[in-house]
Amino acid sequence: MFHDMRRRDLALPDSEAWDILAKATWGVLSTLGPDGWPYGVPLNHVVVGKQLYAHCAQAGHKLENLAFEPRVSYCVVTEDEVLPAELVTWYESAILFGRAALVEAHAEKRAALEALLTRFAADFPEQGAESMKKDFARTAVIRITPEQVTGKARR
């Protein structure tokens, strides 16, 4: 089902791939639409346990694609540094392959949004609480349940 990594010498254990996913502040969600066109969109995310969560509007291209095909990939890159004289780039990356779904349960949605607020706005709890109160009903939360995660690094 999944391809073997070509550069096995750069492969990381699953635990390191999860660490990279957890520390990256954004990644690219790749979906497939009913017209056959792929769509990649950058998103902020948070990892909770072995699930990845992101928030978005209640409608749009990515949600239309997810309704058609829930299989997705999510790619992050951290610690990147181009070394021109060596013709190389140092980096860490992780790719999560999984199935995305809209979070329907109120408690899970709230917990995911609170985790995102804690991660990205921990110093602004009042603004986060106000945003949660104001925008909760009009915000969608996507959960990606992993089927495979891979990590790769050149350090």
Q: Mean pLDDT across the stretch 109-134?
A: 95
**pLDDT value at residue 136:** 95
Between strands 11-12 and 51-57, the pairing is unpaired
> Do 13 and 1 touch, CB atoms closer than 8 A?
no
The predicted pLDDT at position 62 comes to 96
Instruction: Indicate if the pLDDT at residue 9 is higher than 80.
Output: no
More confident residue, 38 or 80: 38
| Dist CA 94 CA 128 (whole Å) | 29
Please report which confidence band the pLDDT of residue 7 belongs to, taking 50, 70 and 90 as the band edges: confident
Residue 6: per-residue pLDDT: 74
> pLDDT class for 8, splitting at 50, 70, 90?
confident
* Predicted local confidence at residue 10, as pLDDT: 73
Q: What pLDDT, on a 0 to 100 scale, did the predictor assign at position 1? A: 63
pLDDT digits (tens, 9 = 90+) for 51-80: 999 999 999 999 999 999 999 999 999 988
Dig out the tokens for 94 from the structure.
């992780």
What pLDDT sits at residue 24?
97
Tokens of 85: 């004289």
What is the set of domains in the chain, with CATH numbers? 8-154 (2.30.110.10)
Average pLDDT over the chain, rounded to whole?
94
Does the pLDDT of residue 5 top 70, yes or no?
A: no
